[in-house]
Structure 1
Amino acid sequence: MSKKSRKQRERKRKTQKEEEKAQPKKYKPEELKEKENNRHVRNDSLNYLVLWKENHEVWKFKKSRQVFLFKNMYNVEKVPTKHFKILKKYIKAMQGQQKEKILEEALAIIEKPQEKIVFDDIEKSQIDQCDTSVEKQKMQEQLLQSKLKRAEKIAKCLSKE
């Protein structure tokens, strides 16, 4: 094999990768269904939270909605800022051990953010979409800081009691 053909193959692979990045990802039907379900779960959970705040008489406890909210409370994409404010009030009004677990988790994140904060698929794709390693680092730091701020707010909210 000549060096020229190797270089040509490398160039071809590089252009193919660039073309793949430029095109939107094609999802399999199962992945599309799962994505749609995730969107519904997110919307239902956020509506559950708003209903708790605005119409407490009609509101009904749903463990699955609560689990989604607690798993994703540090994620800005899944729990937007206006809903996060309601979520803090919801957590503060809670009773039982779950409240203590949330406080412990928030304090653990504050103590060791690099170890405790995990990025989900959406956040990883945001980081991967950045072109340079410097931009990727900035995006990662930005996401880390937003999660850290949320953990601090939750800890502050729960430690006031």
Structure 2
Amino acid sequence: MEMQVWASLFGVILGGLLSYLAQFTTVRLAARNEEKRQAAQRAEARRSERLELLREFIAITQAGIRIAEERDQAPDWDAAGTPEWFAAARNIIDRLWVAERMIEVLFSPQMYQLARAYASAVDHVLWRLPEQIAAEGSMWDHLRGPQHEFLAGARTDVGSLP
């Protein structure tokens, strides 16, 4: 009879130990799964944030190009530089440099260098003078290289996002 008591006691201890191990493993597995889920959510949020920043940067550069083109194609270059034009140009450039700095924060140094070169090219064509226009030619010649390099870098960078 004493052997039955010890066997029962051993069974209870073994059952309790196995139950504890099962619960411990389940809790650990659940915690790991939750960490993975949260990491995936953070990565997706970061990806969305980066894509939105790229959209904003591209839209701002396009607005800068558009306003530079309006002034370049105006029949009277001096008359095209109205106070409203200067205010719009300053606003675009301010927004462009803010977006460029945000790219520095959220993207790789290589992507930032491409964004900086493109923003500098847009800044240059926006503020160039008539004698610079005559010497440099089309603003598209000045923009084409930095624009294509930036877009190719963005395509590569976005493709590698988690």
Q: Would you say same fold, with TM above 0.5?
A: no
Greater relative CO (CA pairs within 8 A, separation 6+)? 2
TM-score, with length taken from structure 1: 0.34
TM-score, with length taken from structure 2: 0.34
Q: Which has the larger radius of gyration?
A: 2
Task: Return the structure number with greater helix share.
Answer: 2
